[in-house]
Amino acid sequence: MNESGPPMTISPLSIFSLLIPFLLTASSALKPQQYRKTFIVRVQHDAKPSVYLTHSNWYESTLRSVATSSDSAVAASGRVIHSYDNVFHGFAAELSAIEVEKVRNLPGVMAVLPEQVRHLHTTRSPEFLGLKTGDSAGLLKESDFGSDFVIGVIDTGIWPERESFNDRDLSPPPAKWKGECVAADNFPADVCNRKLIGARYFCAGYEASNGKMNETTELRSPRDSDGHGTHTASIAAGRYVFPASTLGYAHGVAAGMAPKARLAVYKVCWNAGCYDSDILAAFDAAVADGVDVISLSVGGVVVPYYLDAIAIGAFSASDAGVFVSASAGNGGPGGLTVTNVAPWMTTVGAGTIDRDFPANVKLGDGGEISGVSIYGGPALAHDKLYPLIYAGGEGSDGYSSSLCLDGSLDPNLVTGKIVLCDRGINSRPAKGEVVKKAGGVGVIIANGVFDGEGLVADCHLLPATAVGAAEGDEIRKYIQSAEKSNCPAEATIIFHGTRLNVAPAPVVAAFSARGPNSETPEILKPDLIAPGLNILAAWPANVGPSGVASDERSTEFNILSGTSMACPHVSGLAALLKAAHPDWSPAAIKSALMTTAYSHDSRGETMLDESTSNVSTVMDYGAGHVHPQKAMDPGLVYDISSLDYVDFLCNSNYTVANIRIITRKAADCAGARHAGHIGNLNYPTLAAVFQQYGKRNLSAHFVRTVTNVGDSDSVYTVRIRPPVGVAVTVEPERLVFRRVGQKLNFLVRVRTETVELSPGSSVVRSGSIMWSDGKRNVTSAVVVTLQQPL
């Protein structure tokens, strides 16, 4: 799981002002290719001069015309990393700073975008979501388990031989399919089948930035050498497999959300990350191949949409009718951490399920501390206590030792002992490896203050457990107290295996990235949450379950956590909904998932935040936790067309040129069609942001259109749950539909007064409106943010 910090919002001017001076000041002694960087060039497709037979000819000629040396002019064709034809018109190439400026000023060039590197946002969940194979009716039955619909997974590749990807009893690929299985030395074309119907890999952007890959540690093929892609693919569409478990934990049946859906994998992530030029090439290929859903568990910093290759690729995919789901990121529990925030993508946060893996610490003073772990080796004795030390305690070198970084521990202090390590920098299993190398017999990994009390179960190489921040403090106090009394601190770790029916559930996972949306605060993100903590799914044969290089164990399945795991749950559900409702647009599917989501837990109370055990908010879970069965029959949907998104961009004060970079469409932002504000995008949630500039009374309105996808001759009545201190009215209060497919409008007004806030602070208040016909409830969050300017 990626443990990066909060994302930053970066303006295009700041990107170029930082990047170009650096490039321009490179030593003149260097050859041009030594200081070139990768850029993505957006062109006006119809601007190709007729003298060129193909766009590729035009791109190569363009590079020759701007080349800063005769050598680079000759090698122009070799500098085109990718050529894009479907979701994006243009190419990616290595350019010097001088060449960047020349290209930007050429006719037909709309934008030059700097390469950005992204990172991965690193079972019982189908049953937890109410998807049971034996049901005679319901989403699985109605959709034929997703058969004949294709999910494209953009990730680290796949291990195709896993049983989760068998093609027993599947018909041939759908007739619309145009993709292929790209063969390589370790990936013959015949490993694809009627389940895995396409596999490609894209590494040109990665190699342009990092040099030729080391093929002793990476596989130049669609085969997965990391594990992340195999895991996410099987969550989305894995077949039923029994028995399934990891090191004896989570024993049962493993299945993806859409067990009969077809898979197409697009490998874009390598040891150094996932590069925009490769990701965009994967989007381009996936849409051309004919996927119905794209699942992307990758993210990076938040930038304006016209500089965001993922947002650009996702827009054109959505425009082609492809549903795009993306992980929200693992930057939680802090605010403003959510990524992949474009409104045409479904942004997925993570929640818990009703299963965990307790591994508790028994202290020498009789205290017992709750923890979690997955460990299948020889356990520590329950009736024996072992010496316990804090890695950052007396005699250590301080910071690096406290984190149990490689080479930081003194075997003379560690041998034969259980070691308490602080979480951070290196992975949790890697800390266990460091302790094991130093002679330790066990490890306890304590969260930091920022991590809070949220726990993730990892596969470990030695007896180990993870504990929360407060519990870590308690263990440190015990160690200090024991030292002062000249009694050695002692402990053991007791493993309790798999525990089911854990309550309350779901809970918002501590790591799950939170709103508000830093690019467009008026669009609530994340959109919703899905299971993402301790998820069992398929795993490659060549990667140990801990992910540590020295781990030589092999397992068919592994247990991972992250919004990376939540995202493919929604991807699979989208395939089921598309199969059940082939005429629904990506926005309609998203609406069905959001308006039927729930915000309560198994106790019937508002979901908790795992990091604090306090009540969570809409900034944590968006519309709520996904509810597949209700999403199949939502009653009403909020549909959005590509032209609606153009209106949204106009109202966001994007320039016509920048809008065209994103949409490939000409925009007339001065037209009457674009009158209004950002909040009038027909989104399933309603969010208003007020700046308090001394004005006492604040108000906003929202116009929404709902489409009847339920029964003809149906009447929906609104129920309002206003945010605290906010007046909400809806006109009309009844919607009378005569036929399926009919659209009706309504107006929502919100009014509030200013509140006392310190400069630079804000307060968020939330409520909801719900349309009900007596058997269906269509719920939309209403969120009001009051901000006090500095």
Q: Which residues are catalytic?
A: 155, 228, 564
Which SS3 state, helix, strand or coil, does residue 586 take? helix
Which SS3 state, helix, strand or coil, does residue 387 take? strand
Please state the length of the chain: 790
CB 634 within 8 A of CB 709: yes
- CA gap 591, 588 in Å, rounded: 5
What separation in angstroms does the CA of 323 have from each of 91, 347, 348? 24, 11, 13
| Cα-Cα-Cα-Cα dihedral sign, residues 364, 370, 371, 377 | positive
Q: CA torsion, points 527, 663, 652, 563, in degrees to nearest 10?
A: 20
- CA gap 327, 568 in Å, rounded: 9
CB 459 within 8 A of CB 548: no
The three-state (H, E, C) secondary structure of 349-384, written as one string:
EEECCCEECEEEEEECCCCEECCECECCCCCCCCCC
529: CB partners within 8 A, 6+ apart: 348, 349, 350, 351, 506, 508, 509, 512, 566, 620, 621, 622, 624, 625, 626
CB 151 within 8 A of CB 266: no
- What are the tokens at 674? 């674009």
Tell me which DSSP letter residue 86 carries.
Answer: S
Question: Phi and psi of 62, rounded to 5°?
Answer: -60, -45
Which SS3 state, helix, strand or coil, does residue 492 take? strand
Q: Count CB-CB contacts under 10 A for residue 56.
A: 14
**For residue 538, which of 328, 296, 226, 327 has the smallest C-alpha distance?**
226
- What are the tokens at 59? 């791109």
- CA gap 131, 129 in Å, rounded: 6
763: CB partners within 8 A, 6+ apart: 755, 757, 785, 786
Q: Which residues pair with 361 in a beta bridge?
A: 369, 493
Rg (CA), the chain: 27
Half-sphere exposure of 127 (CA within 13 A, CB side): 15
